[in-house]
Chains A and B, each alone.
Chain A
Amino acid sequence: MAGPPPSIPRRLLAGLGVLWRVLRSNPLSLFGFVLIVVIGVVALLVVVDPPLLVPYGPQQLTGAYLQGPSSKHWFGTDANSFDIYSNVMLALPLDLGIGVLVAGTALLAGGSLGLLAGFFDAPRTVGGAASVVILRVTDVFLSFPSLILALALTRVLGLGVGPTVLAIGLTWWPFYVRLVRGEVLAVKNLPYVVAARASGVSEWRILGRHVLRNILEPVVVYFTLDIGTVLVTYSTIGFVGVASKYPGPQPEWGAMLAFYQSSGAINAYPWEVLAPGAAIFVTVFAFSLLGDGLRDILDPRTRRAFVRSTTGHEPPSEVPAATLPSGTVPSVGVSPDRGATT
């Protein structure tokens, strides 16, 4: 380790190595990562080249009515002879896109507002006044259940995919304001922030390097779980019937569920309902597992612990006391207290 520091590609590789070891140590989160990658690739393929994975069009008559799952129709067909597997697959990019877009926008917008409201909240300053305004507006939004508010907004904004996404987006950001502000308040007066300030680190750099980095873990974990919640909310609104029309040119899981459930034949033809339901479940589940995995990676404490437990390799930290040069102050032997200290 006495040589020059490793070059950037080597540092990247080393980082990927750590990532791999952390993932391998927790099979469930590894499964989540793989699932997310598979879902992402499939969604991309459906958009780029539908015939590759989708055998039939959304409203293509196959001639097979109410057939159960078979090698030809994986998830069966419905009373219109539409292929359910094709419709579930065609809905994937839309549902996934909505989940990531709404949660992502909420994270960026609500997160930035929360960051500013939490960090610049000294009373009797411009920032303090701004943070009061941000928080009161947030409270107004939070006082409504978001599903009800989104439904009400769709009455104003109109029916269809676009307005519904907008409606959910408008109700979604306040959670992030609260979450991020709370985390910032907990971190911003810790001694290491004051120490950074004392050594001349600028306020914006403190915000990014010391505050943001240390609240990242809960926020990112919440975000990945939230993608699933957005999906469920959109599907619920779709279920009520204001978002997407099914059957139609662009299928959507919630609308599919609503349509087949209302046909009243769940007992006779359960595959109609099971297929879109399972699609929602698997996607939400994958994001939950991803959230768990990300938490392990973002927190240096668990990261190290995991790497150790899987590789049996101790990070080099024990310094033999015998190496002390005589005559000097006995150095505190590095006795790492590795337990979860917080």
Chain B
Amino acid sequence: MTDPVLRVEDLSIAYTVGAGTFRAVSGVSLDLHPGKVVGIVGETGCGKSTLAQAIPRLLPEPPASIGHGRIVFRGTDLVQVPKRKLPMIRGTGIGMIFQEPLNSLNPAYRVLDQISESIRIRHYRDMGYVRTFVGGEVPFDYSKRPTATVTGSLAKGIIPDGALEEAARDRLRTRSEFRNEVLEYLRLVRINDPETILRLFPHELSGGMRQRIMIAMALSERPSVLIADEPTSALDVTIQAQVLTLMKELIDEVNTAVLFISHDLGVIAETADEVGVMYAGRIVEQGPVAEVFHDPRHPYTKALLRAAPNRYKSDGPLSAMAGNVPNLAKLPDGCAFHPRCPLARPACRAVVPPLAPLAGTSPPPDISAHKSACFFPDEVPGLP
């Protein structure tokens, strides 16, 4: 059991819109370990993307505000960093990949300039030109940060030993040195003929290509945590498969911790080691991905799995879940799922069930035990 690179503890986020306040994320806890992928799955509006953007403190505050909880990254609680100091902690180890490959790249710049911007920032930081954040329980020493290391068989041959290390740490790099590093990252994301791609504008690239560039950009910060917010949702199925394969290989090679957000159960099953199922801002079930998907212990997970179209069976209508996602501004009392739940009882309407570990589970190292936020987890397998 290693220490997590990033730990989210009991995080709650609320939006204030007009006079109303609604909680988009309530009491979410997560541990991210190097080389492990934590998937978050849920319907639209369940707080997935809010969670993804809150971790690197990218949410616009206001209207969003972090009510309570901690986001501990390398000994610093990111929640406590004052707003004006946020730029100092960005680009220091949390990389992001976004959903829309069309809009995630600046249309005015060539691929070279897109990727070299983040490399430049990292370089200037290494050179001490950018002020870094000092504070938190453990003073944040940027020079001693643990950088992600490139290992694995695929990295051999693609990136020569030490090529990703700066040629010299004591002088400013030249344009061609930046360019060479950009080329390394393009090769890392398996782009053929990177010399050519370097000179193209985003609109000249296909969706899958853009997403590769986006991944290269995120990796060029050398993040120890990578947050992928629906990275494949906008791609068609074949490209999606390619990008997913690439991401899986890169996660092994680069050994980062990954938070993978998706609404697609198949994608999560394919990619993640651990999964958290979100409903109305809460994680309702969490655990090793195989266990959660094969033996769900929360009625919502069960319903979600049942609603996923099965590609082998075409008899009968598609099953849709009864009811709607609740309005976050007026959540029902007790368990947010109880109006749609076949197991609902008076207790469910009164008290919010805690996310409790199930008896008799022994998770693999660095992965959360199977937990369910249901009072009657043992009755779930009996549901249709």
- Collect the chain A residues with CB atoms within 8 Å of residue B324's CB: none
Task: Decide if the interface of chain A is mainly helix, strand, loop or mixed.
Answer: loop
> Are A330 and B118 in contact (CB-based, < 8 A)?
no
> Are A5 and B175 in contact (CB-based, < 8 A)?
yes
Please report the C-alpha to C-alpha distance between residue A300 and residue B106 in the assembled complex, in whole angstroms. Answer: 11
Q: Which of A2, A122, A201, A329 sits near B195, CB closer than 8 Å?
A: A2
Q: Which single residue of chain A is at the shortest CB-CB distance from B203?
A: A301
Kindly supply a per-residue 1/0 record for chain A positions 105-148, scoring 1 wherever the CB is within 8 Å of any chain B CB and 0 otherwise: 00000000000000000111000000000000000000000000
Q: Which of B104, B199, B245, B246 sits near A195, CB closer than 8 Å?
A: B104
B352 is an interface residue with CB less than 8 A from chain A: no
Q: Number of contacts between A and B (CB, 8 Å)?
A: 143
> Are B197 and A198 in contact (CB-based, < 8 A)?
no
- Collect the chain A residues with CB atoms within 8 Å of residue B303's CB: none
- Collect the chain B residues with CB atoms within 8 Å of residue A202's CB: 87
Q: Which of A198, A317, A323 sits near B96, CB closer than 8 Å?
A: A198
B190 is an interface residue with CB less than 8 A from chain A: yes
- Collect the chain A residues with CB atoms within 8 Å of residue B302's CB: none
Interface size class of B (residues with CB under 8 A): 35 or more
Which of chain A's residues 236-281 have a Cβ closer than 8 Å to chain B?
none
Query: Known: A317-B200, A317-B204, A324-B192. Contact between A214 and B108, CB under 8 A?
Result: yes
> Are B245 and A329 in contact (CB-based, < 8 A)?
yes
Q: Which of B53, B62, B121, B196 sits near A319, CB closer than 8 Å?
A: B196
> Are B60 and A332 in contact (CB-based, < 8 A)?
no
Kindly supply a per-residue 1/0 record for chain B positions 208-234, scoring 1 wherever the CB is within 8 Å of any chain A CB and 0 otherwise: 110010100110010000000000000
Query: Known: A319-B196, A332-B242, A341-B102. Contact between A199 and B117, CB under 8 A?
Result: yes
Q: Which single residue of chain A is at the shortest CB-CB distance from B86?
A: A197
B128 is an interface residue with CB less than 8 A from chain A: no
Kindly supply a per-residue 1/0 record for chain B positions 169-210, scoring 1 wherever the CB is within 8 Å of any chain A CB and 0 otherwise: 000000110010000000000111101110111011111110
> Are B96 and A200 in contact (CB-based, < 8 A)?
no
Chain A proximity of B184: nearest CB distance (Å)? 14
> Are B205 and A195 in contact (CB-based, < 8 A)?
no
Chain B proximity of A288: nearest CB distance (Å)? 24
Tell which of B196, B199, B239 has the most Cβ of chain A within 10 Å: B196
> Are A199 and B91 in contact (CB-based, < 8 A)?
yes
> Are B196 and A192 in contact (CB-based, < 8 A)?
no
B307 is an interface residue with CB less than 8 A from chain A: no
Q: Which single residue of chain A is at the shortest CB-CB distance from B104?
A: A191
A315 is an interface residue with CB less than 8 A from chain B: yes
Q: Which single residue of chain A is at the shortest CB-CB distance from B60?
A: A122
> Are A197 and B58 in contact (CB-based, < 8 A)?
yes
List 18 additional contacts besides A124-B62, A317-B197; criterion CB under 8 Å.
A2-B195, A191-B98, A192-B105, A192-B107, A194-B96, A195-B217, A196-B106, A198-B96, A213-B109, A304-B203, A329-B190, A329-B245, A331-B191, A332-B242, A334-B197, A334-B205, A336-B204, A337-B203
Chain B contacts to A: CB under 8 angstroms = 53, 56, 58, 60, 62-63, 87, 90-92, 94-96, 98-100, 102-109, 117-118, 121-122, 125, 130, 175-176, 179, 190-193, 195-197, 199-201, 203-209, 212, 214, 217-218, 221, 239, 242, 245-246, 249
Closest 5 CB pairs of A and B: A200-B91, A332-B208, A199-B118, A200-B90, A336-B204
22 inter-chain pairs at a CB distance below 8 angstroms, sorted by A residue, are: A5-B175, A5-B179, A122-B60, A191-B103, A192-B105, A192-B106, A195-B96, A195-B104, A198-B58, A200-B118, A200-B130, A201-B118, A213-B109, A300-B107, A300-B203, A304-B201, A315-B204, A317-B196, A317-B204, A331-B190, A332-B212, A341-B203
Chain A contacts to B: CB under 8 angstroms = 1-2, 4-5, 122-124, 190-192, 194-203, 209-210, 213-214, 300-301, 304, 315-317, 319, 323-324, 328-338, 341
